[in-house]
Amino acid sequence: MASNIPGGIGTTEGQNNQTTYSNNLGAVQVTGTVPSSLTGTLPGSTSNVTNWVPDAIQIIQEASEMASVDFTTSYSLRSAKRSLDFLSMEWANLGLNLWTLVWESQVLTPGFAGPYQLPVDTIDLVAPSIRTFNNPIRYTVGGTNGNPPSVQTIDQEHCTDIILARMDFASYQSIPNKGKEGRPITVYTQRLQPNPQVYFWLSPSDRQGHDIYTFVYFKLRRMQNVGNATNILDIPFSFVPTMVKGLAHQLAVKAPVKNFNLIQLLKSEYIESRTMALRENRDRSSVYLTPGGYGDEYSSGYGTSAL
């Protein structure tokens, strides 16, 4: 019986290295010595490199091949880049993208409850807190230490952070005395364009000797634009396959001649890949609570609430 496998039964290599016979059941048995090329260390080695990340043009090329669309004109490149930016915007709605968390701080003005503008790329706030400083440095209104620095590091020593409660528009509007002073205990976020802004209650005290408070928080920022085709995308490597499949689906939908079976296939592939990526991009704490707007299927498992 001939074989098309190199070194298999019925080949010259097999005759040189193997002895074949049939047992009582008609099954072919193979005995003999192992070729010297398969003993010891196998030839070749791994690259020992783990830093390859495709740039935008490689992602677009891969997605175009999956979608069976033309990728030979400058317009097709611009169209694909635009679709990548739309996908980046869409991903802001999927929950807590852990790689987009950035720590921020802002010193509050004594006697001023707001509004305080947030950075223009802010999508949401995570763990908003009020910070005060203890000995040996304590910033107080009219105190000897003067005003605190406008920017403070996250590892600042001798400080106390107290989580702020979040309130919605109706709750903030129902407060009869918004100017009441003390240590802020709640924060209301007003989602405006281009900058969101926040209001505090109680209003930071402006009395002599009272603490000067600092608003500290992690912001969930927007993903960066694609920019040049040679740029890499603002996503972890584990999300690159998801982005490729999402772009392939977008390109198939925009194709002049649509293949609806392929569109449906690419959509299911994209959703499956996105689900796996979001499950991996989760908080690893043993117990977590999810109040507010992140309790759906796209939740990354981190306690926060929508703006």
**What's the number of domains the chain is made of?**
3
Say yes or no to pLDDT of 75 above 50: yes
pLDDT band at 262 (very low <50, low <70, confident <90, very high): very high
More confidently predicted of 179 and 261: 261
Residue 293: CB atoms within 10 Å = 13
What is the pLDDT at residue 21?
40
| Mean pLDDT, the chain, integer | 79
Regarding whether 230 and 85 lie in a shared domain, the answer is yes
Residue 47 domain-assigned (yes or no) = no
Regarding whether 154 and 66 lie in a shared domain, the answer is no
- The single residue listed with the structure tokens 């230490």 is 145
pLDDT per residue as tens digits for the range 22-61? 444 444 444 455 555 545 555 678 888 888 999 999 999 9
Could you tell me if 224 and 81 are in contact, meaning their C-beta atoms sit under 8 angstroms apart? no
Could you tell me if 148 and 212 are in contact, meaning their C-beta atoms sit under 8 angstroms apart? yes
pLDDT per residue as tens digits for the range 266-285? 999 999 999 898 888 776 66
More confidently predicted of 287 and 210: 210
Residue 293 domain-assigned (yes or no) = no
pTM: 0.71
Separation CA 266–CA 26 (nearest Å): 47
More confidently predicted of 170 and 210: 170
Separation CA 93–CA 220 (nearest Å): 11
Regarding whether 262 and 201 lie in a shared domain, the answer is no
What is the pLDDT at residue 46?
85
What is the pLDDT at residue 32?
52
Residue 243 domain-assigned (yes or no) = yes
What is the pLDDT at residue 208?
79
More confidently predicted of 187 and 7: 187
Regarding whether 197 and 102 lie in a shared domain, the answer is yes
More confidently predicted of 303 and 264: 264
Regarding whether 120 and 135 lie in a shared domain, the answer is yes
What is the pLDDT at residue 141?
78
Q: Which two tokens stand for residue 278?
A: 């979001």
Residue 137 domain-assigned (yes or no) = yes
Pairing mode of beta strands 197-201, 214-221:
unpaired
What is the pLDDT at residue 296?
43
Please give the share of the chain, as a percent, with pLDDT higher than 70. 72
What is the pLDDT at residue 241?
93
Residue 51, CA atoms < 13 Å, CB-side half-sphere: 1
pLDDT per residue as tens digits for the range 82-121? 999 999 999 888 777 888 899 998 989 888 998 999 999 9
pLDDT band at 295 (very low <50, low <70, confident <90, very high): very low
Structural domain for 34, as ranges:
1-39
**Average pLDDT in the 153-167 region?**
80
Regarding whether 216 and 111 lie in a shared domain, the answer is yes
Regarding whether 105 and 92 lie in a shared domain, the answer is no
What is the pLDDT at residue 95?
74
- The single residue listed with the structure tokens 């910033």 is 139
Say yes or no to pLDDT of 15 above 80: no
Regarding whether 124 and 153 lie in a shared domain, the answer is yes
